[in-house]
Amino acid sequence: MVSVLVLVPAVEYNTLVSVLVLVPAVEYNTLVSVLVLVLTVEYIAAVANPCFFAADTPGPPTNLTVKDSCKDNANIYWDPPLLDGGHEVTHYIVEKRETERKAWSIVSSNSAKTAFKVPDLDAGRCYIFRVSAVNELGVGESCETPDAVRPQGVAVFLHIREEPGPVMDFKTLLVTKDSCTLSWKKPDGSRIIAYVLEVSQGDDYKELMRSKNMQYSGKDLVEGREYTYRVKAVNDSGESAVKELSVVGIILPTCDLRELPNMCYIAKEGSMVRLKIPIIGKPTPKVSWKKGEEENLTDTGRVCAESSAVNTTLLIRDCQRSDASKYTITLRNSAGSRESTIFIRVVGKPGIPIGPVKFKDVNADAATLKWVAPKDDGGSEITNYILEKRDFVTNMWVTVSSAVESNVQRVTGLHEGTEYIFRVSAENKYGVSEGLKSDPIVAKHPFNVPDAPPPPQISSMRHNSAYLSWNDPRKTGGSPITGYFVEFKERNSMLWKRASPSALMMREHKVMGLTEGLEYEFRVMAVNLAGIGRPSAPTDPQVALDPIDAPGRPDVVSITRSTVTLQWTEPQSDGGHRLTGYIVERRDLPSKIWVKANPVNVVDPAYTVTDLQEGCKYEFRIRAKNSAGALSPPSEQTDTIICADEYAAHGPIIIDSHVMEGHTSGLETPSWSLPPAIIGKPAPTPAGSKGGK
């Protein structure tokens, strides 16, 4: 699109009116063809003939050239465009690209001059530059390159040339006893004509190769001799700097262990170990360490291995007993590999003896102790043991013996009943180990006091005495029972009293001195050679009263669906006190629990139990009590009773034969009597009628 400026004379004001018209541009090569358009403008009073001026972006600059180029910059020059588009050119845009790429990059977007120094170029690469002019309407169109269809700007090729850089990655690919293979890589820069490889001969160098090959194989080398090679690149601008490489004919690696007698290194526990071992081998061998049968030794901070071309060093900080082991050193290079084995022995104080401490033949004043020697003797023979004791009275450690030669020791002079702890330590020429502590032990006979017997049984209770019997305890403490002590106390008292001043030999005893009417509890303790054992659990409280005989077995008088009527005989003995009543007890079968069935005191030896369930089964028994509070043992229980009403059809009515024939009575004294026997349950009520009434 081309902008056309049209000047139109104003009719009324006698001035020119400028009209900007956008006209499609006709395609052209170098110059813009101006289209003359006739614009008819109708005014109110007249028609004007306009004048046309074309306005557009500038054309391409001309005569773009490159001067004064070097390896990293170039100076470019150009002339202003032939057509400025009707507006003054304000500045230029400079761009570049490498010939291998299609993308342009802007070097400068605001160059005011017709010359520019392009920086940051890479030596040996080819560049194309282009410049575009800019006016207030925009960036001008580019001119065509020789093979372009549309104008693309003025461009120029630049190829910067200089001497090549040094070759890269100069190294050996293979080294044997009498040969080596060398290789390198092409340097950056211009095209390389050849590579020159030389080898040193004293102070001079001998040329071995001049070609484009980047690899060389040398033969007939002397084993172990060092050779120095150097290589340089050559191009049209000159030669590069040389790269050197030293090569030694390979030597099978090995460790020099002549300074390590018996292949063993002795280190003291806690010290720092720095074991330096010379190594031999060409090329320099790769070294690895292995401890025992484990994998390769790694750097743990405390233990590490360091290697150089002439030696390898094992470094152990704060040496520990666990560091003692077999160590394998493996050397590898292109000539082969070899393993060497050394041993590190760590010496120090022995380890703690192995427990637990065992006791034998313990009595009231002595005990025999036994332990196991330490698993780790510290790398030196155990010379003796140190045995100590501590009692819980003074709580201080006292040496029993510091020259115990074996792992068994008899300790005497103990105090009976005192609790002790023992501690044993091992000693060698490097020091004393940590102490092994025993479990607490009490100096006493090898048996204990008996366990508590079961609670005693009260066979009978009187107003002033009680007759007890009991069984032996389940455990006697390892010593035979020699006697028993019986104790008793009032129920609300805390003080237990001995029933006898000395131990009882039998498992039964009559306790005297009770007060009538008070409740008492009883307990028993067993005795052996170790002393008096723990007391048994106390008996249930019992009142010191003469016993009441049990009432007679209750008889069932009647049964209904909800009641049972019982009667019984009084006990033969009232315990020396007046009977005050009875307790009726009931058991609901199949339950085994007896419950009280009379809510009120029963004075007479008969009672009707109410509130029973029809069809349920029951048993009953009776206890008697007297004014002293004594309670008799229960009577025998009744048979099983089922609550139900009792019914039976009435029996035959038996009437005398002379009555059946008729009965005559006088008018003055009429009489009538019922038959003598009428049977039925419940008892039937007789009634008569006369003449059907």
pLDDT(32) > 90? no
Of residues 490 and 192, the one with the higher pLDDT is 490
Q: What is the pLDDT of residues 451-480, one digit of tens each?
A: 999 999 998 888 899 999 999 999 998 889
Q: What is the pLDDT of residues 283-337, one digit of tens each?
A: 788 999 998 887 788 888 899 999 998 999 999 999 988 888 899 999 998 778 8
Supply the pLDDT for residue 558: 93
Q: How far apart are CA 197 and CA 207, in angstroms?
A: 6
Supply the pLDDT for residue 281: 84
Supply the pLDDT for residue 129: 87
Tell me what the pLDDT averaged over the chain comes to. Answer: 82
Q: What is the pLDDT of residues 63-116, one digit of tens each?
A: 888 877 776 788 888 888 988 888 888 999 998 888 778 888 898 988 888 889
Q: What is the pLDDT of residues 375-400, one digit of tens each?
A: 988 888 999 999 999 998 899 999 99
Supply the pLDDT for residue 132: 92
CB 460 within 8 Å of CB 467: yes
pLDDT(681) > 90? no
Residue 261's SS3 state is helix
**Mean pLDDT of the 249-261 span:** 85
pTM above 0.95, yes or no: no
Query: Lowest mean pLDDT: which of 13-17, 139-143, 180-184?
Result: 13-17
pLDDT(23) > 50? no
The string of DSSP letters for 100-122 reads T----EEEEEEE-SSEEEE--PP
Closest CA relative to residue 424, chosen from 350, 497, 492:
350
Q: What is the pLDDT of residues 494-539, one digit of tens each?
A: 999 999 999 999 999 999 999 988 999 999 999 998 889 999 999 9
Here the tokens at position 179 are: 């040969």
Domains in the chain, start-ordered, CATH in brackets?
Answer: 2-55 (no CATH), 62-159 (2.60.40.10), 168-248 (2.60.40.10), 251-347 (2.60.40.10), 354-442 (2.60.40.10), 457-543 (2.60.40.10)
Query: CA angle, 687 as apex, 684 and 688 as ends, to 5°?
Result: 145
Q: What is the pLDDT of residues 537-553, one digit of tens each?
A: 999 998 898 888 899 99
Supply the pLDDT for residue 554: 94
**Mean pLDDT of the 406-416 span:** 92
As a whole-number percent, the residues of the chain with pLDDT over 90 amount to 43
Supply the pLDDT for residue 29: 37
Residues in the chain, overall count = 693
Here the tokens at position 39 are: 């614009």
Q: How far apart are CA 637 and CA 618, in angstroms?
A: 10
Q: How far apart are CA 621 and CA 607, in angstroms?
A: 12
576 pLDDT tier (thresholds 50, 70, 90): confident
Supply the pLDDT for residue 322: 85
**Mean pLDDT of the 367-371 span:** 95
Q: Which residues contact 472 (CB under 8 A, 6 or more apart)?
A: 453, 481, 507, 526
